[in-house]
Structure 1
Amino acid sequence: MLFAAVATVATATGSGTAEDGGAAHAAAAVPGTGSADAGFARDMAVHHQQAVEMSFIVRDRTQDEAVRTLAYDIANTQANQRGMMLGWLDLWGLPKVAADREPMAWMAEEQSSGSGSGSGSGHAGQSSGSGGHAGHGGHSMGGVAAKPGALMPGMATKEELAQLSAAGGRDAEVLFLQLMTDHHKGGVAMAQACATLCRTPVERDLAQGMVDAQQSEITLMADMLRRRGAAPRG
């Protein structure tokens, strides 16, 4: 699946031919390091990594089959998608880390410039549970703001991850569902931006697929919380 997706990107970004101008076309079609395509791939790879981490944590903190199944599905899906996005960056010859740019800078720059030649991109090399830029000074993404101590909107803080690791049974289930609901809301907002701003067709399709799947899971998690006498946060 991953090979097929990367191969599709290779075709979408221009594979070049022996004809004159083929190589130039391929080079022009490859996204720049500050493009929405590259910024989304970097930032969402980080975002996904934390979702995988939280899913593995709750798997060991509860015996509830519904929660364990959801956690497995999220971990499997998002680890797969993360591999695709990092593979695209390799294919494009772009760095997976842009330490001089704040997370999601590509969203504001692309929207203000209307081009793919901006210089913004995210920190793909940051630890998934790290602090860092607290939503870069109150930045809001699609109406979802990053909390203090969280790298991007929707992401959990180190303290919240520690709470999840220390919880068990129903408490772990409720906290996981609440944290993952927030996480999905942040992910949906970022994916919606890529679906609009990204220029690589297969990446736009992946982003829209994330929006559809995660919105469905948000509804599912709200129902799972209700059955446990709880509700999403905020």
Structure 2
Amino acid sequence: MTPSRTRRTRWAAGSAVALALLFAGAATIASARGDGAPAGPRTPSERSADAGFARDMAVHHQQAVEMSFIVRDGTRDEDVRRLAYDIANTQANQRGMLLGWLDLWELPKTAPEGQGPMAWMRGGHSGHGMERMDHDGVLMPGMASRTELKQLGEAEGKQAEILFLRLMTDHHEGGVAMARGCAEQCTVTVEKRLAQGMVEAQQSELDLMADMLAARGATPRS
């Protein structure tokens, strides 16, 4: 199977899984509220890993979508544009699920007072890119800074492709660390399953981006 067909198949499967998880999440909340369904898991608390991951990964995903749209305007390379399209669609879909769960749980989309980004992860801040947090708009592991986003918006052609692939590699590595944290700490089954799916899909894209960088005579930053 070609890489393009593999990505299309993964995206289609991901969409189906996303819908299934969303309906499952709704059923879980209905159970928790006692809406006539059999007893199920209790609704996560505002400071739980489940809620923290949903809030933080929604923000993390939003930047990936933003970077993907930026590079689609900065290059005509079909492989990079196709990858950007796949990332934007997948992560926008997942972001909607995460925010939808917060609505179903009747929890705010902003962290409670005194709890900053990544506070939900056991052991404190850990993962790729943590040394850059709180610097130039970097809120979570792997996120690009305001300066880097500006550079990406100004780059064109091969320069834009390499910068995007490097920034998205960092972004995915940070996202994988966060998703692994949820897979270990979250208690809602469908959310744990989604997090594990993120780990597997983004690791596959990391391998692809490493090959794409090598084809352009470049390497990841780390």
Normalised by the length of structure 1, the TM-score is 0.80
Map of 1:206 onto structure 2: 194
1:39 aligns with 2:52: yes
**Cα shift at 1:142:** 2.6
Aligned length: 200
**Cα shift at 1:211:** 0.2
1:17 and 1:146, CA in 2 relative to 1: closer, same or farther beyond 3 A?
A: same
SS in 1 for 2:44: coil
1:191 and 1:228, CA in 2 relative to 1: closer, same or farther beyond 3 A?
A: same
What amino acid is the match of 1:180?
Answer: M
Map of 2:63 onto structure 1: 50
Alignment of 1:1-234 (within 5 A): 4-13=20-29, 15=31, 16=34, 18=36, 29-98=42-111, 100=113, 101-108=115-122, 140-147=125-132, 148-149=135-136, 150-234=138-222
SS in 2 for 1:154: coil
2:71–2:84 CA contact under 8 A, matched in 1: yes
What amino acid is the match of 2:21?
Answer: A
CA–CA distance in 1 between the matches of 2:59 and 2:36? 38
Structure 2, unpaired ranges of 5+: 1-15
1:18 and 1:57, CA in 2 relative to 1: closer, same or farther beyond 3 A?
A: closer
CA–CA distance in 2 between the matches of 1:146 and 1:55? 24
Q: Give me the identity figure in percent.
A: 62
1:192–1:211 CA contact under 8 A, matched in 2: yes
**Cα shift at 1:98:** 1.6
Task: Render the CA deviation track for 1:151-203: whole Å, top value 9, x for unaligned.
Answer: 11100000000000000000000000000000000000000000010001100
The alignment yields a C-alpha RMSD, in angstroms, of 1.9
1:146–1:152 CA contact under 8 A, matched in 2: no
Structure 1, unpaired ranges of 5+: 112-138
What amino acid is the match of 1:11?
Answer: A
Query: Which structure's residues are more often helix, by fraction?
Result: 2
1:18 and 1:59, CA in 2 relative to 1: closer, same or farther beyond 3 A?
A: closer
2:75–2:161 CA contact under 8 A, matched in 1: yes
SS in 1 for 2:116: coil
What amino acid is the match of 1:160?
Answer: E
2:55–2:110 CA contact under 8 A, matched in 1: yes
CA–CA distance in 2 between the matches of 1:18 and 1:171? 57
Q: Mean alpha-carbon deviation: is it higher for 215-224 or for 141-150? A: 141-150
Normalised by the length of structure 2, the TM-score is 0.84
1:174 and 1:142, CA in 2 relative to 1: closer, same or farther beyond 3 A?
A: same
